[in-house]
Structures are given as structure tokens and as C-alpha cells.
């Protein structure tokens, strides 16, 4: 596995940990909606999706 792929995988794992941690924090909060926390999680999920797509594109390019 190249360094580029290792770095992307590490970044994906890091974002996953942040999403999980923030989700747990939200679960322990009051049931009142928190738009700022929702936006934070949405931003992390969007970043994760972009990284996953980049990883897929790199995989296709490496396979060609």
C-alpha cells in the first residue's frame, strides 16, 4: 500500500472517530435540537464522503 493510500485511510478513520465521539456527546445531551452540532456532523460526513470518493478514484487509477 502506498503512502498516499495509508494517509487517506488514516484520515478516513480519524473522521469516523470524530463522528462517533460527537454522536455519543449528542446522545448524552438533552433532547433539545442542536443545529450547530448537526452542522458539525454534516460537515464531517461530507468530508468523509469526499475522501471515500477520492480513494475510489485513486483505486481505479492505480488499477488501470
In the chain, where are the structural domains located? 3-63
What band does 3 get if pLDDT is binned at 50, 70 and 90? low
SS3 sequence of 33-57: CCHHHHHHHHHHHHHHHHHHHHHHH
pLDDT digits over 10-60, tens only?
Answer: 787 788 888 888 777 776 776 777 787 778 888 888 888 888 888 888 777
pTM given for the model: 0.57
Residue, of 3 and 38, whose pLDDT is higher: 38
Q: How far apart are CA 18 and CA 22, in angstroms?
A: 6
Q: How far apart are CA 26 and CA 39, in angstroms?
A: 12
Percent helix, strand, coil in the chain, to 5, is 85, 0, 15
What band does 1 get if pLDDT is binned at 50, 70 and 90? very low
Residue with cell 472517530: 17
Amino acid at each position: 500500500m502506498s503512502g498516499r493510500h495509508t494517509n487517506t485511510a488514516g484520515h478516513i478513520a480519524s473522521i469516523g472517530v470524530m463522528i462517533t465521539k460527537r454522536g455519543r456527546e449528542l446522545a448524552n445531551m438533552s433532547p433539545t435540537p442542536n443545529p450547530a452540532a448537526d452542522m458539525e456532523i454534516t460537515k464531517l460526513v461530507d468530508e468523509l464522503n469526499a475522501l471515500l470518493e477520492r480513494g475510489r478514484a485513486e483505486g481505479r487509477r492505480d488499477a488501470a
